[in-house]
Amino acid sequence: MRNQLNEELDRLRHDILAMGSLVEESLRKALHALRTGDVALAKEVRAGDAEINALQLGIEDQAAMLIATQQPVAGDLRELVTVFKVTDNLERIGDHAAHLAKTARRLADDPYPLPLDRLERMAAAGVAMVHDAVEAYLRRDEALAREAAARDDEIDAEHKAFLREVLAYLAGRPDKAEQATKLIATSSFLERLGDHVTNLCEAVVFMLTGEHAELND
Amino acid sequence: MMSEAETAFSIRGLDLWYGKSQALKSVTADLPARSVTALIGPSGCGKSTFLRTLNRMNDLVGGVRIEGSVLYDGVDVLSPSTDVIDLRKRVGMVFQKPNPFPMSLYDNIAYGPRVHGVKDKARLDDVVESSLVRAALFDEVKDRLHESALGLSGGQQQRLCIARVLAVEPEVVLMDEPTSALDPISTAKIEALLDELKRDYTIVIVTHNMQQAGRVSDRTAFFLLGELVEYAATKELFFNPADERTENYISGRFG
């Protein structure tokens, strides 16, 4: 019974997997562009963002249609409510990938003299978190959602350390203030990215348990 | 009268057999006063049987055997010494199909009070008007009180039946699928009425319409094969049910 609802829910999950994969790919590309200065790759991230946004709107329309026509309750309803949070946070993560790609493009013209290991580690952690968060949603895996959210601490620690390093560098090279400001902004975007994955994980825990978990303390 | 958070019905270990087939299995629940309790479950699950136990309507069915206890406001409902007429005055009932008597609107509503000995014309006038007002029907029919009740629409007839129950000043109104024969507009009117009535009355409603249970009730009881599977606050039961059988049933994945 409820074959139509089951099929539609499966289709939604498939679309969310597609959206999550695109966001993950954008982040990987942006990270690679940051490492290698590959400007063409950075531009691809921007193009991918439009596709991500289109997927988001399609998924949300479909979820609203199912709520209107299928009268879902209990677990079905919690999943459909969760879909909006999942897509909203994935879309914001995609935006942050675009910010990172923009930084990569700028640094290609005017390289920062110190290593950007911390930014790279933040972005790499972000990729893994997004992957696990979407996986947790699809596999209905509460433990995995909690694990993915917990990695936000790594990003936060790198962010704080990176700020200190950039400010220390800036003290000796005030002429690099503009570049330093952009790097700090980028690091802040990555820090926000971690928060969005945490929100996404909280939504998954809510979908599975009905409890409003606070995973970011 | 009972206070706000008080229990109207206290049911303990209720078993009921129709001949050899067991229709209720050790049902235990407290139904709160002045709120709406919805009973849901597939056909044959025992919900209507449970409802009818609350005012001894099962007495009318042959071969029924009941064990366990049902207390209403301290009264032992199942005791042979309980005054059933008095019980049914306090615990009224509205049925699935509107069943107005073939007489005028006025006489339909005055019927109960007259049976209970009210003869004074002015007092009957008052009861008829106030009952119709409380059943949200007065404005629609005030100019035709002496016309036949059979000329009303189905939705109006059902509200007339509710008014007729209210006229004998019950404390509880039991409803067995009261809107299943009505169109959506009439259904919406009855549902809005329930919201008003629960301020003064305890309502217990059997419904096959899950969305209706979600809309109108404070607590919902889910029955399956005579067993009370889950009984919880309605918002909890429809959003995060504890039992997988409840989830499967309310989400339409049952069977």
**Cβ-defined contact of B255 to A1 (cutoff 8 Å):** yes
Contacts of B94 (CB under 8 A, 6+ apart): B158, B161, B162, B165, B173, B174, B175, B176, B178
Q: Which residues in chain A touch residue B247, judged by CB atoms under 8 angstroms apart? A: 74-75
**Cβ-defined contact of B240 to A71 (cutoff 8 Å):** no
Would you give the DSSP letter of residue B57?
Answer: G
- pLDDT value at A73 more than 70: yes
Output the pLDDT for position A1: 62
Does B106 touch chain A if contact means CB atoms closer than 8 Å? no
**Cβ-defined contact of A73 to B254 (cutoff 8 Å):** no
Contacts of A91 (CB under 8 A, 6+ apart): A52, A53, A56
Mean pLDDT value across residues A166-179: 89
Cβ-nearest to B251 among A75, A209, A210: A75
Q: Which residues in chain A touch residue B250, judged by CB atoms under 8 angstroms apart? A: 73-74
Percent of chain B exceeding pLDDT 90 equals 86
Mean pLDDT value across residues A99-126: 86
Mean pLDDT of the residues in chain B: 93
Neighbours of B161 (CB within 10 A): 25
Output the pLDDT for position B61: 82
Output the pLDDT for position A107: 84
Mean pLDDT value across residues A159-171: 93
Strand order across the beta sheet in which B36-40 lies: B91-94, B172-176, B202-206, B36-40, B219-224, B227-233
Query: Searching chain A, which residue's CA lies closest to the CA of residue B234?
Result: A74
Residue B37 and residue B10 in contact, taking contact as beta carbons nearer than 8 Å: no
Q: Please name which of A160, A161, A86 lies closest in space to residue A130, comparing C-alpha atoms.
A: A86
Output the pLDDT for position B252: 85
Residue B73 and residue B171 in contact, taking contact as beta carbons nearer than 8 Å: yes
Q: B159 to chain A, minimum CA–CA distance in Å? A: 27
Query: Searching chain B, which residue's CA lies closest to the CA of residue A76?
Result: B251
What's the topology of domain A3-209?
A: Methane Monooxygenase Hydroxylase; Chain G, domain 1 (1.20.58)
- pLDDT value at A71 more than 50: yes
Structure-block tokens of residue B199: 């301020």
Output the pLDDT for position A2: 75
- pLDDT value at B2 more than 80: no
| Domains, chain B | 7-250 (3.40.50.300)
User: How many angstroms separate the CA atoms of B166 and B160, rounded?
Assistant: 10
pLDDT band at B1 (very low <50, low <70, confident <90, very high): very low
Mean pLDDT value across residues B136-145: 94
Query: Searching chain A, which residue's CA lies closest to the CA of residue B241?
Result: A74
Residue A45 and residue A29 in contact, taking contact as beta carbons nearer than 8 Å: yes
- pLDDT value at B227 more than 80: yes
- pLDDT value at A177 more than 90: no
- pLDDT value at B216 more than 90: yes
Structure-block tokens of residue A35: 């490492």
Contacts of A18 (CB under 8 A, 6+ apart): A55
Least confident among A106-115, A200-209, B218-227: A106-115
**Cβ-defined contact of B238 to A5 (cutoff 8 Å):** no
Interface of A with B in 74-93 (CB under 8 A): 74-78
**Cβ-defined contact of B254 to A1 (cutoff 8 Å):** yes
Q: Which residues in chain A touch residue B212, judged by CB atoms under 8 angstroms apart? A: none
Query: Searching chain B, which residue's CA lies closest to the CA of residue A72?
Result: B251
Pairing of strands B91-94, B172-176: parallel
- pLDDT value at A106 more than 90: no
Does A210 touch chain B if contact means CB atoms closer than 8 Å? yes
- pLDDT value at B207 more than 70: yes
Residue B137 and residue B152 in contact, taking contact as beta carbons nearer than 8 Å: no
Query: Searching chain B, which residue's CA lies closest to the CA of residue A206?
Result: B240
- Flag whether the pTM goes above 0.90: no
Buried-exposed string A43-76: b where 16+ CB fall within 10 A, e elsewhere? bbbeebbeebeebbeebbebbeebbeebbbbbbb
